[in-house]
Amino acid sequence: MSETKAATRLPGARRLPCGTEPEIGKVEEMARLLEPVACFPMLSMRAPSVPCRTVPLLPFLRDQVMVALELQESLHRFDLVPGTGGQGLAAGHQMSLAPVGSLQGRLTPIPDDFFPGPGIVPPPTVLNPYRSQRFTLLNGELSFLDRRASGVQVFGSGRTFPIPLGGRPALRIGAVIDVLGGAGDLAGLPGETFPGATLVINGVLRPPGDLFLHLLLRVVDPSGRLTSGSPPLPMAPWPEPPDSRTAYVNLLGEVDPQRPVRLLFDPAGRPIGAQLFERLRLARVTDGIESSGRLCSRMERGAIVGSVSSMLYFDVTSPGRVIPAQTTGGVFTLHDPEGRTLGSLFANMVEGRAFRTALPGAAHPVYRLGGFGPVKGGTGCLADASGLMSVNALISLFPRTLSNLYTFRLADPDGALRKSLA
């Protein structure tokens, strides 16, 4: 395929600088390099014995005007329950009865013009449940209950999206968290053994402290140290998951051979993103921490059940390691095993970050990318869908290929959506 056909150029665009041209014909090789990852999906909840710890603006205001929430969450194994009907999509989910780890940190609202960073304390900002706000996670630490007491130190930020929930104001929460360091089986993060890891959060908060989160930690694992060759033992499930009024859909995006990724350029010829076309597969991501005591992960790739197209924007030439990113025009179309369209979801990554990452065997850096955005309705059986989309991705632009793991957390109070997707 010619360079002209493989990239979208704006008027006046020039060719890429020498040494950064796409390596035509090496897409499959790069796709294999992106494949070895370890993914740990979890659900969080506060143990009944742990009191809610909010930080008020003034002591006498208590929970009424809060400027931070201290996180002391137990983490539980998460697994999708495969559907038994003809559509093939997940019908429900399970949460392990026993915790597999914990999450600690301080969730702090920040002004829109504040630039967060590790160790940088923002000015006191009141959490407003009636408008969208940015926030940061300070002193974040995720600890596992495996044999080697593995864990990671994390930092990141996100955004809230106000919604009504049960007659009370509530906030959907999305966040992109970078892993700063690791211990136990994750020692050396980031480094040659594990070049990087990204944590993406997708959840809901009912102020002052009723918090429920879906977390997906994706570790780049070139040597497959954390990969399990066999399915984990079945979990002992929570009888009635606290998140039982929610439908989850996990989809793995991969390059569509019929519609390759196209680079986007500004008038000066600089790459500013890509036009993405992806095939969507069912993806079941499991871990065996609860049953084996060992930090291990397994991803089962299922049938192709749809496609997605979007425009991804981020400054590829930025010298920084962390680059803001977003998408526009995102349309996720799902179909049944016979190819009949079930419906579409409209969702964009309104906030995201790309982390430039050196991958062993790759001639150019790849990008770990995390992001999230609200679901803005859909068509067909998804016409009334509402919720939050999050993505934990690995993207190579030279050559152009990707591995994008999407999680949709959709409101489903009566179970009708899960039934139609099963």
pLDDT tens figures, 236-273: 888 887 788 899 999 999 999 999 999 999 999 999 99
Q: Show Cβ contacts of residue 146 under 8 Å, excluding neighbours closer than 6 positions.
A: 100, 184, 185, 289, 293, 294, 295
Can the peptide bond before residue 399 be classed as cis, meaning omega within 30 degrees of 0?
Answer: yes
Residue type, 88: G
Model pLDDT for residues 63-89, shown as the tens digit of each residue: 778 999 999 999 999 998 765 555 667
Report yes or no: 212 and 173 within 8 Å, Cβ to Cβ.
Answer: no
What pTM did the predictor assign? 0.92
- Look at the chain and count its residues: 422
AA identity, residue 188? G
Which structure tokens are listed for 189? 């993060």
Mean pLDDT of 160-188: 94
Asked if pLDDT for residue 277 goes beyond 60, the answer is: yes
Residue that is written with structure tokens 């065996």 in the block: 288
pLDDT of 406 > 80? The answer is: yes
Q: Could you tell me how many helices (H) and strands (E) the chain has, helices first?
A: 4, 20
Average pLDDT, stretch 365-388?
Answer: 95
Q: Which residues pair with 237 in a beta bridge?
A: 96
Q: Who has greater pLDDT, 124 or 90?
A: 124
Cis peptide, bond prior to residue 51, ω within 30 of zero? no
Q: pLDDT tens-digit profile of 191-232?
A: 989 999 999 999 999 988 789 999 999 999 999 999 887 777
Task: Say if residues 305 and 282 touch (Cβ distance below 8 Å).
Answer: yes
When the pLDDT of each residue in the chain is averaged and rounded to a whole number, the result is 88
pLDDT cut 90: percent of the chain above it: 67
pLDDT of residue 291: 60
The first and second tokens of residue 57, run together, are 């603006």
- CA separation for the pair 322, 315 (Å, rounded): 10
Q: Read off the pLDDT of each residue in 320-328 and give the average, rounded to a whole number.
A: 94
Least confident of 187-191, 250-254, 317-321: 317-321
Structure confidence at residue 345 as a pLDDT band (50, 70, 90):
very high
Are 285 and 314 in contact, with CB atoms under 8 Å apart?
no
Dihedral sign computed on CA atoms, order 97, 245, 217, 250: positive
Whether residue 22 has pLDDT greater than 60:
no
pLDDT for 288 beyond 80: no
Stretch 86-100: mean pLDDT, rounded?
Answer: 79
233 or 88, greater pLDDT: 233
pLDDT tier at 16, thresholds 50, 70, 90: very low
Query: Is 11's pLDDT higher than 60?
Result: no
pLDDT at residue 176 above 70? yes
Confidence of residue 21 (pLDDT cuts 50, 70, 90): very low
Q: Give the span between the Cα atoms of 355 and 360, in whole angstroms.
A: 16
Residue 417 vs residue 241, higher pLDDT? 417
Structure tokens at 302: 């299922």
More confident residue, 193 or 420: 193
Closest CA to 176 of 121, 129, 218, 123: 218
Mean pLDDT of 50-58: 78
Query: Of 14-18, 112-116, 175-179, which gets the smallest average pLDDT?
Result: 14-18
Cβ atoms 178, 200 nearer than 8 A: no
Beta strands of 288-321 (E only): which ranges?
297-313
Reading the block at residue 160, the tokens are 């809230």
| Whole-angstrom distance, CA of residue 143 vs CA of residue 145 | 7
| Dihedral angle of Cα 132, 137, 141, 145, to the nearest 10 degrees | -10
CA pair distance 368, 377, nearest whole angstrom: 28
Residue type, 264: L
* pLDDT given for residue 61 in this prediction: 66
If pLDDT is split at 50, 70 and 90, which confidence band does 137 have? very high
Please report where in the chains the tokens 């076309």 appear, as a residue. Answer: 277
Q: By the 8 A CB rule, do 176 and 155 touch?
A: no
> Among candidates 331, 345, 64, 104, which has minimal Cα distance to 213?
104
- Check whether 20 has a pLDDT greater than 50: no
By C-alpha distance, which of 165, 172, 167, 168 is closest to 131? 172
- How does residue 90 score in pLDDT terms, banded at 50, 70 and 90? low
Cα separation, 318 vs 273, whole angstroms = 12
Q: In sequence order, what are the beta bridge partners of 326?
A: 313
